Amino acid sequence: MATLEEHLTDAGCDEKLKKLILLLSQQAKPIKNAFVDKQNYAGTKNMHGDDQIELDKWADELLIDVLRKSEMVKTIASEEQSDIIEVFTQDKGFGITLDPLDGSSLIAVNLTVGTIIGIYGDGNILQKGKNMACAMYILYGPLTTLVYTIKKGVHEFVMKDDGTFELLRENLIMPEGKLYSPGGLKKDHTEKHTKFLESLESSGHKLRYSGSFVADFHQILRYGGIFSYPALKDKESGKLRLLFEAKPIGFIAREAGGEISTGEKDILEITPKSIDQRVPLYVGSKSKIQKLEEYMRGYR
Ligand code: P6P
């Protein structure tokens, strides 16, 4: 089966972008190897108020370091950093958004977590998600896998012992499906969201929720359905981050025939106002998102 490098070459991927994607993929093995002895809480919080484990910080530093040294990157924003990092040696280059270890608290209970990456060709990470050059994620689960798109389909690879990636599935298309992932506490759900979830249950949808967005999304990508982390009664922007989670995952969802929405509008059309911006988020099968938006817009 094709390697990630062969697949990118066959897809006609821009040489520098290919080099960058491969460089990022090569960090999967060292990050996975660090799982065993870096899972204690570091006693610090990130800008979003999330408690950091040692691995959050270690993976973040590793990725930022290799990106700085790559001489291909102008701008880096990470969920674990409070400010945008301008790589001053570069007057042009790619912009990168990182969620180094989404769902990291689940490592302690041996559940799947992942690295979510967005890549912007002109270095501007504060533009609409639809303009991305690439979105990818690495899942550290029973297998270590990598999913990427450069708007030429969505493709999945599995990591081999030597840390290289081999094609597992090509041109993934999100099925209609019948899974749903209901983020947030029920007591904090708005009435209209509660009624939406009830409609999914009454139409036979099955609940699947792990607490790692990237892992829960991957299940929706493969089996179909809808993931939600909605506006809450006390947090109208919900919990998930526009830059680090919503835009890259939405870019992949769209390319696989799915959609991503705030419930009212397309998240890939939102121009971020700040790097810590949160958005209410529904991502899943196109028809489900379309029905959801009609329902939410018409709700009285
Ligand atoms: P809750 C992980 O911390 C995360 O950012 C997402 O990966 C996940 O979907 C969500 O938060 C889980 O939040 O409130 O269910 O713990």
Residue ranges making up the domain that contains 24: 4-169
pLDDT cut 70: percent of the chain above it: 100
Alpha-carbon dihedral angle through residues 263, 245, 106, 31, given to the nearest 10 degrees: 160
Where in the sequence numbering do the catalytic residues fall?
50, 56, 79-80, 99, 101-102, 245
pTM given for the model: 0.97
Q: How far is the CA of 89 from the centre of ligand 1 (A)?
A: 35
Nearest-atom number in ligand 1 for the CA of 183 is 15
Domain annotation covers residue 174? no
SS (H, E, C) 82-149: CCCEECCCCCCCEEEEEEEEECHHHHHHCCCEEEEEEEECCCCCCCCHHHCCEEEEEEECCCEEEEEE
Sequence-distant (6+) residues with CB within 8 A of 69 are none
Pocket of ligand 1, candidates 55, 113, 227, 239: which has the most ligand atoms within 8 Å of its Cβ, to mutate? 239
Sequence-distant (6+) residues with CB within 8 A of 80 are 46, 52, 56, 57, 60, 98, 100
Distance (Å, rounded) from C-alpha 251 to C-alpha 257?
10
Alpha carbon separation from 267 to 46, 130, 193, 288 (Å, rounded): 24, 9, 18, 15
Distance (Å, rounded) from C-alpha 128 to C-alpha 268?
6
Inform me whether the pLDDT recorded for 37 exceeds 90: no
Q: What per-residue confidence (pLDDT) applies to 193?
A: 98
Q: What per-residue confidence (pLDDT) applies to 39?
A: 79
Q: How far is the CA of 104 from the centre of ligand 1 (A)?
A: 10
Same domain assignment for residues 223 and 291: yes
Looking up tokens 């041996």 gives 110
Q: Pick the residue with more confidence: 1 or 139?
A: 139
Distance (Å, rounded) from C-alpha 32 to C-alpha 54?
13
Q: Euclidean distance between the first and final Cα of the chain, in Å?
A: 53
Supply angle C-alpha 215, 109, 118, rounded to 5: 30
Domain annotation covers residue 37? yes
- Per-residue pLDDT of 111-128, as tens digits, reads 999 999 999 999 999 999
Domain annotation covers residue 280? yes
Sorting pLDDT into bands at 50, 70 and 90, what band is 88? confident
Domain annotation covers residue 276? yes
Domain annotation covers residue 67? yes
Q: Pick the residue with more confidence: 42 or 119?
A: 119
Q: How far is the CA of 184 from the centre of ligand 1 (A)?
A: 8
Sorting pLDDT into bands at 50, 70 and 90, what band is 278? very high
Q: What per-residue confidence (pLDDT) applies to 94?
A: 97
User: Facing residues of 44 across strands?
Assistant: 52
Alpha-carbon dihedral angle through residues 38, 40, 45, 48, given to the nearest 10 degrees: 70
Nearest-atom number in ligand 1 for the CA of 214 is 7
Nearest-atom number in ligand 1 for the CA of 240 is 5
Same domain assignment for residues 187 and 287: yes
Last residue of a domain, one of 130, 150, 169: 169
